[in-house]
């Protein structure tokens, strides 16, 4: 390591005095002007991670659904998964090291992280459409270069596309070609094969309105359009030419405010969906004949996909184990439907994509979605090999056809991470094959009314939870209080959990009516405020 060039380059990307940042589930995120030094140092870290794993590592410059003036960065591990937790700590350590300590911090990470200095390093880079992203990307390149790493800059890509490229690169092309064309070709081919199985392939065009959150999703979806079959007509809204990224639009806005995005006119019973700013989340929605807005979130997406996969697995007649992974935020009705009606095992894990992804890997087929619309399906290596073999060799025509559809699903799904474009095509394919309208999909089960609230506290660490965040362990007395409040309402449950990023406690409550859910959420908030040192005025109904 050339200490002199490190010192020289580091001085070009100085760390603002007194600033400390934490690498969380979403990497680093904050105001764009505070991130230059972090980007440079994540370039350094990616080289170290690449040498430690003897693999290509990805770096994505994005702040997803945050406002346009923010930015962020996250690293992608060799198989397209999120950065290993022990390296999240190294990322935090490196980002916060003072200028003169930088060399020492790198040496320490090399020792703790078993970095083989003799290995070559290669990094794949991508960025979203924020005004600050290009310059910040350049800072990453400075970091990669100063430690002698090789890099390939894909420029503007969705977050899931970068994850996909990293996986393709490290599987020597087994997962696919590590180019945008390769991505579009693999997905569109699988999608067209799926649509061929449609009972009414001569059906008129299928229309879908897509709100692209004024982000990267619009660019990439329009690039993909020539690859898609003529039967599917996608209409893009909030394409970034007029308005600001994520402003009053996007999956997060629609999910939180339970209303359509600005800039998209909905006619009754039209299928619409929204991507988030970096296109790794998707939610669907429609207006009924009376003008009432219906949201179809990640829970219902997971349910639709599970129904479809379960039918196919039954047809192929293999004993493949399937499960759905949820967090405590999943609506109680979805859990009940999956377990009791569909008879599919459901596992609850802590909030955060990495926990869901990790649990899903334990099954032959693991379906996971967060309520916010981030999710995918994982197939074990053994299950995938079996399905591909049956699609080729099975004598029974029914079984072979079902295996073929499963094989198309495997190729259409981006197994590295939640991917709005891929998930959208999966959903469109399933609805077409099952001949379902958006209303019929929505009617599979009725969500229990729920309410999300948050309470500001002096220190979020006073709340500690267990049982996948469904029970509070501290402060003493809080869980007993919640249990007593829940007993007052029908079909009710409530839980509290500390935010991962700020000193607030998040409260979730559901019950048989909206009034009850609201009342329960308020009462639980008050208990948190009283027992966990709430700040400001007490919560009001």
- Residue spans per domain, the chain: 3-156, 183-296, 298-419+438-443, 450-532
Cα gap 195→463, rounded to integer Å: 49
Q: Which tokens belong to 241?
A: 């030419």
CATH topology of domain 298-419+438-443: Alpha-D-Glucose-1,6-Bisphosphate; Chain A, domain 3 (3.40.120)
Percent of the chain with pLDDT over 90: 91
pLDDT at 499: 86
Cα gap 61→156, rounded to integer Å: 10
Matching CATH number, 450-532, of 3.40.50.1100, 3.30.310.50, 3.30.450.40, 3.40.50.1820: 3.30.310.50
Cα gap 375→299, rounded to integer Å: 10
Give the number of residues written for the chain: 541
Is the predicted pLDDT of residue 202 greater than 70, yes or no? no
Is the predicted pLDDT of residue 462 greater than 80, yes or no? yes
pLDDT digits (tens, 9 = 90+) for 206-237: 899 999 999 999 999 999 999 999 889 999 99
Q: Give the residue among 338, 309, 344 at the shortest CA–CA distance from 430.
A: 309
Q: Which of the four pLDDT bands, split at 50, 70 and 90, describes residue 153?
A: very high
pLDDT at 204: 63
pLDDT at 387: 97
Q: What is the largest CA-CA distance in the chain?
A: 70
pLDDT digits (tens, 9 = 90+) for 487-529: 999 999 999 999 876 789 999 999 999 999 999 999 999 999 9
Q: Which of the four pLDDT bands, split at 50, 70 and 90, describes residue 317?
A: confident
- Averaged pLDDT, 34-39: 96
- The DSSP letter of residue 35 is -
pLDDT digits (tens, 9 = 90+) for 318-352: 789 999 999 999 999 999 999 999 999 999 999 98
**Given this structure, which CATH class describes domain 3-156?**
alpha beta
In the set 64, 306, 333, 334, the catalytic residue is 64
pLDDT digits (tens, 9 = 90+) for 416-434: 999 999 999 999 999 999 9
Q: Any catalytic annotation for residue 64?
A: yes
- Averaged pLDDT, 1-27: 90
Q: Say if 3-156 and 450-532 have the same CATH topology.
A: no
Question: Contacts for 496-501 with beta carbons within 8 Å, 24 or more apart?
Answer: 496/463, 496/465, 496/472, 496/524, 496/528, 497/328, 497/351, 497/463, 497/465, 497/469, 498/460, 498/461, 498/463, 498/465, 499/454, 499/460, 500/24, 500/25, 500/351, 500/352, 501/22, 501/24
Q: Which residues define the annotated binding site for substrate? A: 370-372, 497-501, 506
pLDDT at 532: 94
Which residue shows structure tokens 């007194």? 18
pLDDT digits (tens, 9 = 90+) for 84-136: 999 999 999 999 999 999 999 999 999 999 999 999 999 999 999 999 999 99
Q: What is the CATH number of domain 183-296?
A: 3.40.120
Work out the number of other CB atoms within 10 angstroms of the CB of residue 536.
9
Q: Which residues define the annotated binding site for Mg(2+)? A: 64, 276, 278, 280
Percent of the chain with pLDDT over 70: 99
Q: What stretch of H or E contains 219?
A: helix 216-224
pLDDT digits (tens, 9 = 90+) for 170-200: 999 999 999 999 999 999 999 999 999 887 6
pLDDT at 257: 87
Distant-in-sequence, close-in-space partners of 275: CB < 8 Å, separation ≥ 6: 210, 211, 212, 213, 215, 217, 250, 251, 281, 282, 420, 421
Q: Which residues define the annotated binding site? A: 64, 276, 278, 280, 370-372, 497-501, 506
């Amino acid at each position: 390591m050339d200490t002199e060039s490190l010192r020289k380059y580091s001085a070009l990307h100085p760390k603002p005095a007194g600033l400390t940042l934490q690498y969380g589930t979403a990497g680093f995120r904050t105001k764009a002007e505070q991130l230059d030094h972090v980007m440079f140092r994540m370039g350094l870290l990616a080289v170290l991670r690449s040498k430690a794993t003897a693999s290509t590592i990805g770096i994505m410059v994005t702040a997803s659904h945050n406002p346009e003036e923010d930015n962020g960065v996250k690293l992608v591990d060799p198989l397209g998964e999120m950065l290993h937790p022990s390296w999240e700590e190294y990322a935090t350590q490196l980002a916060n090291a003072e200028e003169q300590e930088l060399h020492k911090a790198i040496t320490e990470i090399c020792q703790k992280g078993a970095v083989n200095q003799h290995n070559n390093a290669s990094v794949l880079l991508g960025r979203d459409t924020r005004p600050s992203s290009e310059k910040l990307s350049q800072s990453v390149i400075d970091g990669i270069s100063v430690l002698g790493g090789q890099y390939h800059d894909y420029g503007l890509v969705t977050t899931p596309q970068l994850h996909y490229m990293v996986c393709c690169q490290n599987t020597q092309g087994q997962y696919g070609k590590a180019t945008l064309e390769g991505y579009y070709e693999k997905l569109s081919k699988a999608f067209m094969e799926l649509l061929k199985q449609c009972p009414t392939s001569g059906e008129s065009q299928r229309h879908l309105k897509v709100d692209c959150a004024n982000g990267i999703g619009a660019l990439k979806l329009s690039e993909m359009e020539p690859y898609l079959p003529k039967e599917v007509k996608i209409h893009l809204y909030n394409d970034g030419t007029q308005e600001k990224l994520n402003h009053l639009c996007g999956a997060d806005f629609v999910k939180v405010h339970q209303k359509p995005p600005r800039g998209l006119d909905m006619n009754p019973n039209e299928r619409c969906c929204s991507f988030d700013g970096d296109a790794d989340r998707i939610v669907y929605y429609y207006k009924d004949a009376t003008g009432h807005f219906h949201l179809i979130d990640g829970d219902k997406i997971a349910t639709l996909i599970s129904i479809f996969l379960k039918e196919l697995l039954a047809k192929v007649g293999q004993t493949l184990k399937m499960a759905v992974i949820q967090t405590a935020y999943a609506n109680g009705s979805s859990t009940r439907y999956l377990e009791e009606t569909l008879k599919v095992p459901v596992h609850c894990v802590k909030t955060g994509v990495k926990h869901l992804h990790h649990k899903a890997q334990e099954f032959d087929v693991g379906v996971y979605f967060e309520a916010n619309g981030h999710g995918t399906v994982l197939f074990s290596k053994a299950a995938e090999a079996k399905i591909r073999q049956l699609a080729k060799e099975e004598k029974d025509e029914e079984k072979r056809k079902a295996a073929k559809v499963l094989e198309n699903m495997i190729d259409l799904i981006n197994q590295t991470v939640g991917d709005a474009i891929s998930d959208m095509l999966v959903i469109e394919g399933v609805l077409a094959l099952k001949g379902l309208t958006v209303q019929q999909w929505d009617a599979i089960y009725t969500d229990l009314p729920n309410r999300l609230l948050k309470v500001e506290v002096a220190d979020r660490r006073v709340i500690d939870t267990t049982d996948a965040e469904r029970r509070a362990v501290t402060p003493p007395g809080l869980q007993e209080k919640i249990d007593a409040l829940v007993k007052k309402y029908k079909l009710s449950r409530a839980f509290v959990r500390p935010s991962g990023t700020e000193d607030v406690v998040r409260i979730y409550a559901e019950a048989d009516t909206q009034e009850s859910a609201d009342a329960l959420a308020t009462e639980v908030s008050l208990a948190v405020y009283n027992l966990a040192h709430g700040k400001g005025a007490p919560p009001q109904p």
